[in-house]
Amino acid sequence: MAKQTIIPFGPQHPVLPEPVHLDLVVEDETVVQAIPRIGFVHRGLEKLVEKKDYTQFVFVTERICGICSFGHSLGYSQTIEHLMGIEVPPRAEYLRVILHELSRVHSHLLWLGLGADAFGFENLFMQCWRIRERVLDIFEKTTGGRVVLSACNVGGTLYDIDDETLKGICATLDVVRREYDAILGAFLNDYSVRSRLEGVGYLSQQQARDLSIVGPFARASNVNNDVRCLRQGGYAYLESFEPIMSDGGDCLARVIVRAKEVYQSIDIIKELAAKIPAGPVMNAPKGKPAAGTQASMRLEQPRGECYYYAKGNGSMFLERMRIRTPTSQNLGGLVVALAGCDLADVPNIVLTIDPCISCTER
Amino acid sequence: MGTFKLAGTSMKGLFSKPATKMYPVVVPEYFERTAGHIENVDMKSCILCGLCARKCPTGCLVVDKGAETWSIDPFGCITCGSCVRACPKDCLVMQRTHTEPATDKRRITVKKPELTPEEKAAKAAAEAEKAARIAAAKAAAAKKKAEPAS
Amino acid sequence: MAAYQDTFTSIPLSELATLAQSKKDEGARFINIHAATVADGFVLTYTFTSNETVTDNCQVHVTADDVVPAISPLFLAAFVFENEVHDLFGINIEGIAVDFKGDFYQISIETPMAVPTKPEHATAVNTKYGATVPVKQRKGEEQ
């Protein structure tokens, strides 16, 4: 009879971008069960809505997470616009989608680097992050911040990007694409990378549906719940949008989905930059959310679908603000994917759900 | 087995200069919009209205109308730019360089400059003229009230 | 611009279990559970989407003494949110699939989100958990 040991994984671990704790019940190198614990980065940000009024709270939402920072400010702004019925100028919608897709490129490049580091390929990790620096320079040139942009607010964007800068952005993205092509072969075709990722952490399509998982984690198991298909906001101006799917269901499929999404984001940015209209970029909100109103909103962040809820009470402060992030949804899927894997595969599987634990416990 | 996929990139990396800069020995070139720190560059035009302090999400700005000072806590500032947008006289500017690391958190306070003698004289003259106008208007209104309505 | 469609419906607590079962049977996807403090209790919002287009928010009014049936046996992903709602608000949820029994978030005060900081919540439910934080009038609230 095999002996069961409990091995703690995290909260400090070299592969984790943020602290999460897993108690792994292990029988002779095979993980039988995984019990997650979170709460190491809980800052109680949802209660802070009582102290910061609704135009100041956007700066708090940006700081929930460093990787999906722009996504949270965008989702929050869209929720309040839905709550108060504010129209956003078209140029602002284009700019928001351009910045959000740049945010997706930077997030996926960061994740690819971390994934490479998880299976020991440090050279690839450093190359991915070097390419990512070009995207961060674009952010700094246009909005002033590398990670936390402070660019989106209720009613539009705070900074305008003129057409010359947009052409420069497209030129930089061509360079990014060339450098990315050079390293992508290592992810998709390298023998040792494939042997570490293929067949690991498999989730079937039915399991993915039952566990309600979202994002590239679900799209790799052929379940599509990409909110960009709803064509809200600036996404309505795209000619067409097809989410990238795969039916591999294992870690390699998730890597391939994210790797291809970088190309898709670059194409979206170029398409929108070519046809952006002129006009104002901010329609400043007047007044306050009426008492008794509530609104919800969904947004496709790099990690999956994010759900926002806001409730007004007639004052400048919101009554309740709720942000449900994709990683909290995917924790159930993680627990099931870890059952039955080898101990050495645990870092790979934990990373392939793209954990953003600071988002999970704001 | 396959070839070494990163051969091209690694060879290029061997012979080109590094992608990292030796900060702080090498000072980087910041961009025009880089969110570095907030500075009140025009204290003369500042009317001490306090709009910047009201808009600030962190509460790091303190405007004292009595003592005629404007102060900021640079380590509390999140460089969001709300104060720059709120200032009606455009006194506040977002500079590119970042706040230097320090061993203690101190507040930066600036006081409104003293007026020069010509400016004091001009201000006194303007106030005297305004007082004369108000007195004349009051006298005219009293006279109109005393006369019977026509 | 395509408008975002969401619906808000109110259901009584007794119908929650049948609602969860019917959503599971029709293959809807579970999105979120969260709670908000109101004057005489809490409002739990359960969010699903049946066709990936319309977001259905179903709201249930509960008090601190009500026992709420868990939906995580049907939707495993809900265990995160049910534990969170139990720890932060003190709502009694029974039958959570992976139950941490109050130890999910290691917080230092009981039910921090239910601590009253507004006058209208002071007389409500939170006294069960010994919330004795004095209620302050916030500057700007009367605006």
Residue in A50, A230, A288 closest to C2 by CB? A230
In whole angstroms, what is the distance from residue A239 CA to residue A230 CA? 13
Q: What is the pLDDT of residues A18-72, one digit of tens each?
A: 888 888 899 888 888 888 888 888 888 888 888 888 888 999 888 888 888 899 9
Q: How confident is the model at residue A102 (pLDDT cuts 50, 70, 90)?
A: very high
pLDDT digits (tens, 9 = 90+) for C1-24: 456 778 888 888 888 888 888 888
* pLDDT classification of A100: cutoffs 50, 70, 90: very high
Q: Is residue A183 part of a domain?
A: yes
Q: Left if phi > 0, otherwise alpha if psi is -120 to 50, otherwise beta: which for A310?
A: beta
Percent of chain A scoring above 70 in pLDDT: 100
Q: Stretch A302-308: mean pLDDT, rounded?
A: 90
Q: CA of B31, closest CA in chain A: separation in Å?
A: 6
Q: Is A303 helix (H, G, I), strand (E, B) or coil?
A: coil
Length of chain B: 150
Q: For residue C136, what pLDDT is reported?
A: 40
- Cα–Cα distance, C90 to B79 (Å, whole number): 37
Res A74 pLDDT > 70:
yes
* Cα distance between residue A56 and residue A84, in whole Å: 16
Contact across the interface for C4 and A82, Cβ inside 8 Å:
yes
The CATH number of whichever domain residue A78 belongs to comes to 1.10.645.10
Rg (CA), chain A: 21
Q: How far is B81 from chain A (nearest CA, A)?
A: 8
- Which site among A77, A133, A140 would you substitute to test the B interface, given the most B Cβ atoms closer than 10 Å to its Cβ? A140
Confidence of residue A159 (pLDDT cuts 50, 70, 90): confident
**CB-based contact A159 B35, cutoff 8 Å:** no
Domain boundaries, chain C: 6-119
C119 touches C136 (CB < 8 A): no
Inter-chain touch A39–C140, beta carbons under 8 Å: no
pLDDT score for A109: 92
Separation of alpha carbons A131 and A125, rounded Å? 10
- Backbone φ/ψ region at B141: left (φ over 0), alpha (ψ -120 to 50), beta: alpha
Show the tokens assigned to B40: 């009140």
State the nearest Cα–Cα gap between B3 and chain A, in angstroms: 8
Mutate to test the interface with A, among B6, B94, B96, B97 (most CBs of A within 10 A): B6
**Average pLDDT over every residue of A110-114:** 89
Query: What's the distance, Cα to Cα, between the start and end of chain B in Å?
Result: 110
CA distance, residue B127 to nearest chain A CA (Å): 37
Predicted pLDDT of residue A263: 92
- The C-alpha of A360 sits at a distance from chain B's nearest C-alpha, in angstroms, of 23
Residues 55..94 of B with a Cβ closer than 8 Å to A: which?
55, 57, 78-82, 85, 94
d(CA C59, CA B97): 50
| Three-class HEC string of chain B | CCCCCCHHHHHHHHHCCCCCCCCCCCCCCCCCCCCCEEEECCCCCCCCCCHHHHHCCCCCEEEECCCCEEEECCCCCCCCCHHHHHCCCCCEEEECCCCCCCCCCCCEEEECCCCCHHHHHHHHHHHHHHHHHHHHHHHHHHHHHHCCCC
Task: State the pLDDT confidence band at A103, using cuts at 50, 70 and 90.
Answer: very high
Please report whether residue A28 resides in a domain: no
Residue A213 to residue A333: CA distance in whole angstroms: 6
**How does B78-113 read in b/e, with b if 16+ C-beta sit within 10 Å?**
bbbbbbbbbbeeebbebeeeeeeeeeeeeeeeeeee
The span from the CA of A224 to the CA of A221, in Å, is: 9
Instruction: Say if residues A190 and A124 touch (Cβ distance below 8 Å).
Output: no
Domain region containing A273: 40-340
CB A255 within 8 A of CB A114: no
Cβ of residue A322 closer than 8 Å to a chain C Cβ: yes
Q: How many CB atoms lie within 10 A of CB B8?
A: 12
Element (H, E) at A112: helix A90-118
Judged by CB atoms closer than 8 Å, whether chains meet at A212 and C77 is answered as: yes
pLDDT band for A174, please (50, 70, 90 cuts): very high
Q: Tell whether the model's pLDDT for residue A278 goes beyond 60.
A: yes
A101: enclosing H helix or E strand: helix A90-118
How many angstroms separate the CA atoms of A18 and A39, rounded?
11
**Cβ contact, residue pair C1, A236, below 8 Å:** yes
Nearest to B2 among A60, A130, A191 (CB): A191
Instruction: State the burial class of residue A1 (Cβ atoms within 10 Å of its Cβ: 0-12, 13-18, 19+).
Output: exposed
pLDDT at residue A213, as a whole number: 87
DSSP states of C16-85: HHHHHHHHHHTTPEEEEEEEEEETTEEEEEEEEESSSSSEEEEEEEE-TTPEEEP-TTT-GGGHHHHHHH
- The interface predicted TM-score of the complex, written ipTM, equals 0.84
Residues of chain C with pLDDT under 50: 1, 122-143
- CA C47 to chain A, closest CA, distance in angstroms equals 9
Q: Quick check: C140 and A317 CB within 8 A?
A: yes
Chain B hits for A183, CB-CB cut-off 8 Å, are 5-6, 9
Given an 8 Å threshold on Cβ–Cβ distance, is C1 in contact with A322? no
Task: Report CB contact under 8 Å: C113, A35.
Answer: no
Residue of chain B minimizing CA distance to A54: B57
Q: From first to last of its 150 residues, what are the pLDDT tens digits of chain B?
A: 445 667 777 777 788 887 788 887 888 888 888 888 888 888 888 888 888 888 888 888 888 888 888 888 889 888 888 889 888 988 888 888 888 888 888 888 888 877 787 878 888 888 888 888 888 888 888 888 877 655
Distance from CA of A351 to the nearest CA of C (A): 18
**Is residue A230 predicted with pLDDT exceeding 50?**
yes
* Separation of alpha carbons A298 and A311, rounded Å: 15
| Phi, psi for C94 (deg, rounded to 5) | -110, 135
- A298 contacts chain C (CB < 8 A): yes
Interface contact A309-C34, CB threshold 8 A: yes
* Nearest-by-Cβ selection for C105 from A35, A93, A361: A361
- Shortest CA distance to A68 belongs to which of A226, A301, A266? A301
Torsion of CA A225, A227, A230, A233, to 10 degrees: 180
Higher pLDDT, A318 or C2: A318
| DSSP 8-state class, residue A282 | B
Q: Does A145 touch chain B (CB under 8 A)?
A: yes
Q: What is the pLDDT of residue C65?
A: 81
Chain pair A-B, CB pairs under 8 angstroms: 59
On chain A, the residues whose CB falls within 8 A of the CB of B85 are: 158
Q: How is chain B split into domains, by residue range?
A: 23-113, 114-150
pLDDT at A193 over 60: yes
Place of tokens 């396959």: B2
A99 interaction partners in chain B (CB closer than 8 Å): none
- Dig out the tokens for B117 from the structure: 């003698």
Q: What pLDDT was estimated at residue B3? A: 56
- Chain A residues whose CB is inside 8 A of the C34 CB are 309, 322, 324
* Percentage of chain B lying above the pLDDT 90 cut: 0
Residue with the two structure tokens 């909103």: A297
Residue of C nearest to A50 (CA): C117
For residue A150, the chain B residues in CB contact (below 8 A) are 35, 78-81
Q: How confident is the model at residue A333 (pLDDT cuts 50, 70, 90)?
A: confident
- Report pLDDT for A144: 85
CATH, range B23-113: 3.30.70.3270
C6-119: CATH, from 3.30.830.10, 3.40.640.10, 3.30.460.80, 1.10.10.10? 3.30.460.80
User: CA dihedral in degrees (A217, A221, A227, A229; nearest 10)?
Assistant: 140
> Could you identify the residue written with the tokens 């400048």?
A316
A124 lies in a domain? yes
Judge whether A360 lies within some domain: no
- Number of CB pairs < 8 Å for A and C? 111
Question: C36 has which bridge partners?
Answer: C43
Q: Does B31 touch chain A (CB under 8 A)?
A: yes
Neighbours of chain C (3+ CB pairs under 8 A): A
Scan for tokens 């709602």, then name that residue.
C85
- The answer to whether C133 faces chain A, any CB pair under 8 Å, is no
Minimum mean pLDDT among A165-174, A238-247, B141-150: which range? B141-150
CB–CB of A186 and B10 under 8 A?
no
Total domain count for chain A?
Answer: 1
CB burial of residue B3 (10 Å; 0-12, 13-18, 19+): exposed
A134: chain B residues, CB-CB within 8 Å: none
Partners of residue C68 on adjacent β-strands: C93
What letter represents residue A17's amino acid? P
Q: Which of residues 75-94 of A touch C (CB under 8 A)?
A: 78, 82, 93
